[in-house]
Amino acid sequence: MEHLNKKVLVTGGAGFVGSHLVDRLIGEGYKVIVIDNLSSGRKDNLRPEYFKGKNPALRFYKIDICDPKISEIFRKEKPEFVFHFAAHIEARESVKDPIFDAQVNILGSINILENCRKFNIKKIIFSSSGGEIYGAAKKIPTSENYSPCPLSPYGAGKLAVEKYLDVYYYLFNLPYVALRYGNIYGPRQNPNGEAGVIAIFTNKMLKNEQAFLHGNGKQSKDYIFIEDVIEATFLSFKRKFTGIINIGTAKETSVLEIFKKIKALTQSKTREKHIPLPPCSFKRGCLSIKKAKREINWQPKYNLERGLKITVEWFRSKTK
């Protein structure tokens, strides 16, 4: 392939989204450098065959994005492009400990940006958050022009990094794309955290354990399947575009609907059980994708039913 000798670096590459991205990049002929501290990622998300041979497709470094020694990896590996997906992803936890969240998500990101500047990276792709940045948006579906209003330190941190990306583009001519993703779901998602209600519900129901709904369950989100996310991410990387793009489905689905669909797919007998909403919750979330269609010629291919079926089957294979 034409890109066989080109190197890309993926932060958080052993995580849910990052590991799927690694699959795509290696499939497209890129050499991939993964850095991940494995706080939530798993090295076994990365295929063993990637590490084989004298000139393996993938090199892995267990390191935190805040670590100054990351410069040594940039210097040694000489990547041309960076995908920055490492983050502390728990919005509710960010309310409890905003300092830790900022240390990882803001200062860690600046550390990555500084290395991008020092080592002349050609482009950085950043994993941002559509739902958390727009908060309780009054306009649904919400476009990129809507004034951000984060309701959690996590969302505020994502917005802050977007502003830093703008600054580095202005001062140092570092092209970037900030992808404001909807609620991503699919195989490999961690079901043991607080993020990822589809993974949590699926895991609980397959194990005949109680799954809990926050509030009345009528709050809506924009759920997008991992394969659509990876396609959008790769297209944004290949296109000559700098700026912010929403990546979602432009469709709302309530948490209660998700509960019922997964209950049917898993044939679970669990009943609805409600607990209080966390303080950073909002009632509706849905992303306009007109800009993604226009700028990177992308739109989702997986509807919710198809995506959920694939996801449940994957989790079922892991619980046998």
- Name the residues annotated as catalytic: 154
Helix (H) or strand (E) holding 315: helix 304-319
| Residue 28 CB burial class (10 angstroms; 0-12, 13-18, ≥19) | middle
CA distances from 72 to 77, 79, 115, 241 (A): 8, 12, 10, 29
C-alpha span between 56 and 5 (Å, rounded): 11
Q: Where are the alpha helices (DSSP H) in 190-303?
A: 197-206, 226-238, 255-266, 290-296
CA distances from 215 to 169, 173, 178, 226, 283 (A): 42, 46, 31, 27, 10
C-alpha span between 305 and 184 (Å, rounded): 14
What SS3 state is found at 298? coil
What SS3 state is found at 49? helix
C-alpha span between 302 and 300 (Å, rounded): 6
Q: Which residues, at least 6 apart from 76, have a Cβ–Cβ distance to it below 8 Å?
A: none
* Neighbouring C-beta atoms of residue 208, cutoff 10 Å: 10
